[in-house]
């Protein structure tokens, strides 16, 4: 289209050729200097470095990766940037500091149509090799056997194939429901998450287990799909809470869903926690900003990210690693849960 009509001067970007010309050497020589490779006379090395400095040259990630296999960057593949993944990102970022690797986070789902397979697509686009290794967040499908090391965070179905890090979803769900039971609730609904994610299935299993252990039969009409999304959860919650036999408490599969439930309750004039108790899962930062502040099962999100990085770095180093790390969850009681009214 309207590409700049740069002939060969230096309007936009400085290439290795520009440096070579300015320094009066050949391109490979510049390459060697830039990559700290030996076989270059100290004098020329200095001269080239000076020119590199002056021109502000940086090797193009693109060109380099096309040719060489190592780029020194780790890719983080996420469906989109929402609280869950950005918290993970923070943990990954601080764990990466000082390792010499840079981070490249890629959101492949911004196309709107939330087509599955974004993880395969993104991995395929970046691998090749723009990145040396990848951390894939909530892949909902099996990852293709890629040529680079890959670690999955909270993947589709149990530990399998790729290295995985996740938290004890089932145990966390039990804690959540037990908290509700201890408060005296018996009609407890569950807004479950994306069916393609193992974590969602495990949370539902934990919900059922806790209820079963308390001798309460599961009312299947109290199980609704929230897809881990605020809007979707709000919608189903509105219907649920409008029923005459509405539950006194809701266990949402993640915080976004719980926030959706909170909105639905507010719309219907229900007070939380007086008329309805709500509990979430994740403990993203915004869980503390809701009205009332959300009681939730905390996942150590930043540690989760840090663990993923640790595993990936080990794989990158060629060291043997365990293929599955599972972290614990803890109950974080705030103000959205209380004894039922009656």
- Check binding of 29 to its own copies (CB under 8 A): no
SS3 label, residue 171: helix
Q: In whole angstroms, how close is the CB of 314 to its own copies at the nearest point? A: 15
From CA 96, how far away is CA 174, in angstroms rounded? 33
Residue 78's nearest CA partner among 138, 163, 15, 147 is 138
Beta bridge partners of 147: none
Contact footprint for DNA (CB under 7 A): 13, 15-17, 24-29, 31-32, 34-35, 37-45, 57, 59-60, 63-64, 66-68, 128
Residue 170's nearest CA partner among 338, 299, 308, 306 is 299
Cα dihedral 295, 300, 305, 309, rounded to 10, equals -170
Helix (H), strand (E) at residue 118: helix 118-126
Q: Using CB distances below 5 to 8 A depending on partner kind, what does residue 17 bind out of DNA, its own copies, none?
A: DNA
* Bond preceding residue 72 cis, omega within 30 of 0: no
Q: Using CB distances below 5 to 8 A depending on partner kind, what does residue 191 bind out of its own copies, DNA, none?
A: none
The CA–CA distances, whole Å, from 223 to 77, 158, 244, 247 equal: 31, 22, 16, 11
Contacts of 29 (CB under 8 A, 6+ apart): 20, 40, 44, 48
Q: In whole angstroms, how close is the CB of 150 to DNA at the nearest point? A: 18
The CA–CA distances, whole Å, from 269 to 85, 129, 263, 266 equal: 32, 54, 10, 5
Q: Using CB distances below 5 to 8 A depending on partner kind, what does residue 213 bind out of its own copies, DNA, none?
A: none
6 vs 160 by CB, closer to DNA: 6
- Check binding of 98 to its own copies (CB under 8 A): yes
- Check binding of 5 to its own copies (CB under 8 A): no
- Check binding of 99 to its own copies (CB under 8 A): yes
Q: In whole angstroms, how close is the CB of 61 to DNA at the nearest point? A: 9
- From residue 139 to residue 168, the character string flagging contacts with its own copies as x (rule: CB under 8 A) and all else as - is -----xxxxx--------------------
Question: Which range binds its own copies by CB under 8 A, 23-31, 118-126, 199-207, 222-230?
Answer: 118-126
- Check binding of 108 to its own copies (CB under 8 A): yes
Q: What are phi and psi of 315, to 5 degrees?
A: -65, -40
Q: In whole angstroms, how close is the CB of 62 to its own copies at the nearest point? A: 5
- Check binding of 288 to its own copies (CB under 8 A): yes
The answer to whether 198 and 157 are in contact (CB under 8 A) is yes
- Check binding of 333 to its own copies (CB under 8 A): no
Q: Which residues bind its own copies (CB under 8 A)?
A: 1-4, 6, 11-14, 56-63, 65-66, 69-70, 80-83, 86-87, 89-90, 92-94, 96-108, 110-112, 120-121, 124-130, 144-148, 284-286, 288-289, 293, 318
């Amino acid at each position: 289209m309207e590409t700049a009509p740069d002939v060969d001067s230096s309007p936009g970007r400085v290439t290795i050729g520009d440096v070579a010309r300015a320094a009066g050497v050949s391109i490979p020589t510049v390459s060697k200097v830039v990559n700290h490779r030996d076989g270059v006379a100290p004098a020329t090395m200095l001269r080239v470095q000076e020119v590199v400095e002056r021109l502000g040259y940086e090797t193009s990630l693109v060109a380099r990766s096309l040719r060489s296999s190592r780029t020194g960057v780790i890719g983080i593949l996420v469906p989109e940037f929402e609280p869950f993944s950005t918290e993970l990102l923070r943990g990954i970022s601080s764990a990466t500091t000082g390792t010499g690797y840079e981070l490249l986070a890629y959101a492949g789902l911004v196309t709107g149509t939330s087509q599955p397979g974004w993880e395969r697509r993104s991995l395929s686009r970046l691998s090749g090799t723009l990145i040396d290794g990848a951390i894939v967040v909530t892949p909902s499908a099996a990852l293709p056997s890629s040529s680079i090391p890959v670690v999955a965070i909270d993947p589709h179905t149990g530990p399998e194939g790729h290295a995985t890090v996740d938290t004890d979803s089932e145990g966390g769900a039990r804690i959540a429901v037990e908290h509700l039971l201890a408060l005296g609730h018996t009609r407890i609904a569950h807004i479950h998450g994306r069916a393609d994610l193992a974590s969602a299935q495990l949370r539902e299993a934990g919900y059922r287990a806790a209820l079963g252990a308390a001798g309460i039969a599961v009312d299947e009409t109290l199980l609704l799909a929230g897809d881990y999304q605020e809007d979707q959860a709000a919608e189903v919650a509105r219907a649920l809470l409008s029923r005459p036999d509405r539950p006194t408490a809701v266990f949402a599969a993640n915080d976004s869903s719980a926030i959706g439930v909170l909105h639905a309750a507010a719309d219907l004039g229900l007070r939380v926690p007086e008329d309805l108790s709500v509990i979430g899962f994740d403990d993203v930062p915004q869980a503390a900003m809701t009205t009332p502040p959300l009681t939730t099962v905390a996942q150590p999100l930043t540690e989760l990210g840090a663990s993923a990085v640790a595993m990936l770095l080990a794989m990158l180093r060629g060291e043997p690693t365990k293929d599955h790390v599972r972290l614990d969850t803890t109950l974080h009681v705030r103000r959205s849960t209380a004894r039922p009214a009656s």
